[in-house]
Each structure stands twice: as C-alpha cells, then as structure tokens.
Amino acid sequence: MKYGAMNFPVKPILQEIEDIGKLGFDYVELTMDLPEAAPQKVLAQKKAILNLLNRYKMGITGHLPTFVWTSDLYDSLRKASLQENVKALEASAELGIEKLVLHPGYITGMGKFVIDKAKRYGLESIEAILKKANSLGMTLCIENMFPQANFLTQPHEFQDVFESFPEIRLALDIGHANLGGDRNSAIEFIQRYGYRIGHIHANDNFGKEDNHLPIGAGFIDFEKIIKALKETSYDETTTIEVFSKDRDYLRISKEKIKKMWEAL
C-alpha cells in the first residue's frame, strides 16, 4: 500500500509538496483547484514540482477540479466546466500523472426538480472527460459524493456508470460514505465494487458534515473497513485527506491507517 496526502490549494503548491514530503508520504495527490493550484500555475512551476518530488522520492496522482458544474442545466456552465477538466488533464499529463480522481457534477438549484435530466448531463460529462483521459493513457477514478451533491452518492447509483464505462474505476471516499444515513456505506461499496476500486480517500467525521477530521477523531470504524478492503486484495493508493492547521494530525493519521493495515 502507498500512502499519500493532498495539497490544500489555498496554499502555495511548492510549499505544500515540501511539507508533505517532509512527513514521509509516498506520493502527493495534486488537486488542481484555484487559487494556487490551477493548471496554468502548476505548469508554470513544473520543473520545481518535479525536482521536489525527486528530492523526497515521492510519486504523484491527480485530482481534477473540485468545484465545477458538469451536471448543470446551463450549457455554458457545463462547457466551461468540461474545459477546466480538460486543462487539468493536459497539465497532469505534462507532470507524468497516470491516475486521477474525478468528482461527478453537483446537482443544485433547478436541477433538483429535473433530476433525471441533470443526471443525464452529468453522465455525458463523465463520458467526455473519460474519453480525454483515455487518449492520454490515464486511469480515471470516480469518487462517491456527499449527499448535498445529489448525484452518485449511494452504492446502487454506480451500477450504471460501471456498466457504461468499463475502464473507469472507483475512488472510495470513506468520509463521504459516512454521511447522510445511519450507517457507513463504505462496506457496501466494497462488497459491490471491490474489483473496481482504484483509489481510497481516508478521513473521519461524525456523520453530519464532511469535516476531514484526523483518523480516530470521529466515529468511523476504520478497522472494519480496512478488513473488508484487504479481503478484496486491494493494495494500491490511500490518500489521507485530513486538512488541519497542525500537520502533525496528518502524519498521525497516516501512521494509524498504516498500522491498522499491517496488523489485519
């Protein structure tokens, strides 16, 4: 298993990579979001980024733009959102990134009243982004969302996606799976789609908000989830998605997950 951490895109990207490297992570999950990690800013710092990765002997995965609207009812917003994803994919290719996480589109506003149409737009956008990723030789992992997204949040919703797009994989966000119900749906995701899981996001919460708490600070039963994952023979990448001011919590969370993984 390889353990990574995600840059916080509000902070300068080079400092983020250096901080993650100093904490002993195996890779950086580069999220290409404004204000500091937009594709054009990333490309402007390409040489320095690659030098830092080499210095700390880290790999790199990617996360496509988080706050874009690929399921929106407005054609213009969907088109702009797709363009941002394409720019991020092309920048990722320049950095040698081979695996990326995709947030499916949020359904908000009037889209909630014509949910089937909005979902159809979302699936069309996923198809277009996947086609671009395939042309660049990249693996795309689609992330299960939090309930407010109103799209691809529960395990059963992914069946059509995996049947329609055989090459796409699942980015299982354990924190998201703990929201909007009386139980964590991560086990059901693993039981249904263990063979499709290509990436993990690990963070804790209390079942109400996507807090990105350190492991053990909420009430998610990580040992149970890790045991289920190991039964599928999963052994790829786990990003510790903990955003705390004190980076010691990020390091401690990695150590906790690693210890549980190796003990089971």
Mean local confidence (pLDDT), 144-159: 95
When pLDDT is cut at 50, 70 and 90, the band that residue 206 belongs to is: very high
pLDDT tens readout for residues 59-82: 999 999 999 999 999 999 999 999
Per-residue pLDDT tens digits for 37-49 = 999 999 999 999 9
8 Å CB contact between 193 and 158: yes
Q: What is the pLDDT of residue 183?
A: 82
Give me the domains of the chain, ranges plus CATH numbers. 2-263 (3.20.20.150)
Which pLDDT does position 58 carry in this prediction?
A: 98
pLDDT reported for residue 180: 83
Give the mean pLDDT of 228-250. 95
pLDDT at 181: 75
